[in-house]
Amino acid sequence: MLIYEWDFDKNEVVQWERRGECNQCGDCCRVCVKYNKPSEDINVQEATANGNYHGICNQVQVDGKDNYFWDVRIDNNDKDFQPCEDLKGNSCFSHNGTREVLCRYFPMSPRNAELFEQCSYRFEKIESWEID
Ligand code: SF4
Ligand code: SF4
């Protein structure tokens, strides 16, 4: 799994290596974590080319396929939010293939992990470069 964080406000992309294991604290499953999905024809390469994008995009590359998560955040104001039904105690019981794609890869950067005090993942910066 290759992970990159595109910061269009800082004009910088960082490749991270994720270290450690999930300690199954369950904290990221109990709150409403949201992100924006790119429309099918928008990705970071296009964003780089036209320079019209702002915010932060986490890119996860698995088996040559890219997944993009724009502006990952906690939303404490979503009145429709329901705790995940697959969380039993502190364990995830999602074994039927319906698991949210974000759950497979979260956290994808120190910025994501820092949202949760107990998160046991750590990140090492591999390299970074300017977007332009
Ligand atoms: S599917 Fe599993 S990992 Fe995802 S929010 Fe629910 S309990 Fe957590
Ligand atoms: S906050 Fe981190 S350690 Fe806790 S369940 Fe989520 S990914 Fe695992």
Task: Name which residue sits closest to atom 4 of ligand 1, judged by CA.
Answer: 103
Instruction: Indicate whether 61 pLDDT > 60.
Output: yes
pLDDT, one tens digit per residue, over 63-80 is 999 899 999 999 999 999
Phi-psi region of 63 (alpha: psi -120 to 50; beta: other; left: phi over 0): left
**Pick from 2-6, 42-46, 73-77, 89-93: least confident:** 42-46
> CA triplet 35, 40, 45: central angle to 5 degrees?
85
Instruction: Indicate whether 42 pLDDT > 80.
Output: no
Is the CB of residue 90 below 6 angstroms from any atom belonging to ligand 2? no
- The mean pLDDT of the chain is 88
Atom of ligand 2 at shortest range from CA of 25: 4
How far does the centroid of ligand 1 lie from the alpha carbon of residue 5, in Å? 22
Instruction: Indicate whether 43 pLDDT > 70.
Output: no
Q: What is the pTM of this model?
A: 0.88
What's 2-58 look like in SS3? EEEEEECCCCEEEEEEEECCCCCCCHHHCCCEEEECCCCCCCHHHHHHHCCCCCEEE
Q: Where is mean pLDDT largest: 40-44, 88-92, 96-100? A: 88-92
Is the CB of residue 26 below 6 angstroms from any atom belonging to ligand 2? yes
Give the integer Cα–Cα distance in Å for 120 and 102: 17
* pLDDT at residue 37, rounded to an integer: 79
pLDDT, one tens digit per residue, over 101-114 is 899 999 999 999 99
DSSP classification of residue 114: T
Is the CB of residue 121 below 6 angstroms from any atom belonging to ligand 2? yes
Compute CA distances 37 → 68, 75, 94, 128, whole Å. 7, 15, 22, 24
> In this structure, what is the dihedral angle of CA atoms 38, 74, 89, 68, given to the nearest 10 degrees?
20
* Tokens linked to 104: 């497979």
Domain ranges of the chain: 2-130
